[in-house]
Amino acid sequence: MNYDNYAVTNRNPMGKLMLTFFFALIVSVAGMFAGMLLPDSARIPLFILELALLIGLLFLRKKVTVGYSLMYVFMLVSGATLQFALKYYAAALGSTAVIQTVAVAVLVYAGLAVYASKTKEDFRFLGGFLFASLLGLVLLGLLQFIFPFGGTMETIYSGFGLLIFIGYTLYDFNRMAKEGFDESEIPLMVVNIYLDLVNIILYALRFLKSLAED
């Protein structure tokens, strides 16, 4: 008997994680509808609250009741924040383009998730490279506040961000399948894979907008 495989199997409640992810997405969609009732001035306070909840989840994730509560509150707030971004892109690109881009992004994400979970390939080697790339993306994003991007640079930046979160989707699902996890880790893992999806959608929309403006 292979005890390593046995241990991973018993530390890999993937079914519960995906069910939790499904309910978390419903909460996020509810947050989007609730966010439509809020003024534009609520966008920055909501973003700060979203970041604070994420930090709280990092520190309190091992307390199961608190972890799940924080996760669902995070999803609600994140959904409200996300609708501001989608509204912005709908105004810039049109509602049809946004709906089509979101649909394609979701399909690509789902395909990557299934592949990464089932394949014998090991994508865990991407971890260090993705983290370094993410730091670079954040630094470039901060630099953009001083020197706004435009034209080709905006296309490169948004394409870079899209590739990073495609990579993170492969990495996160592959790591969960290979290493397994405890149920206490589910809230943070749900947030991780949710943020992969959201960022793929947002960077895809940003990339499309940059192409439309060229």
**Token couple for 198:** 């959201």
- Overall number of domains in the chain: 1
* C-beta of residue 205 within 8 angstroms of C-beta of residue 177: no
What's the predicted TM-score (pTM) here?
A: 0.88
What pLDDT sits at residue 54? 84
Q: Quickly count: other Cβ atoms within 10 Å of residue 68's Cβ.
A: 18
**Separation of alpha carbons 24 and 18, rounded Å:** 10
Q: How far apart are the first and last CA of the chain?
A: 60
What pLDDT sits at residue 14? 83
Mean pLDDT per 10-residue section of the chain, whose length is 214 residues:
43 81 95 91 90 81 71 94 94 94 96 94 91 91 79 88 95 91 86 94 94 78
**Separation of alpha carbons 82 and 78, rounded Å:** 6
Distances (CA, A) of 11 to 25, 127, 165, 193: 24, 21, 25, 18
- Give every CB contact of residue 198 below 8 A, 6+ residues apart in sequence: 78, 82
Find, among 194, 124, 214, 129, the residue nearest to 163 by Cα.
Answer: 129
Cα 146 from chain centroid (whole Å) = 26
Distances (CA, A) of 186 to 59, 62, 113, 118, 180: 14, 10, 16, 19, 11
Range of the domain at 90: 3-213
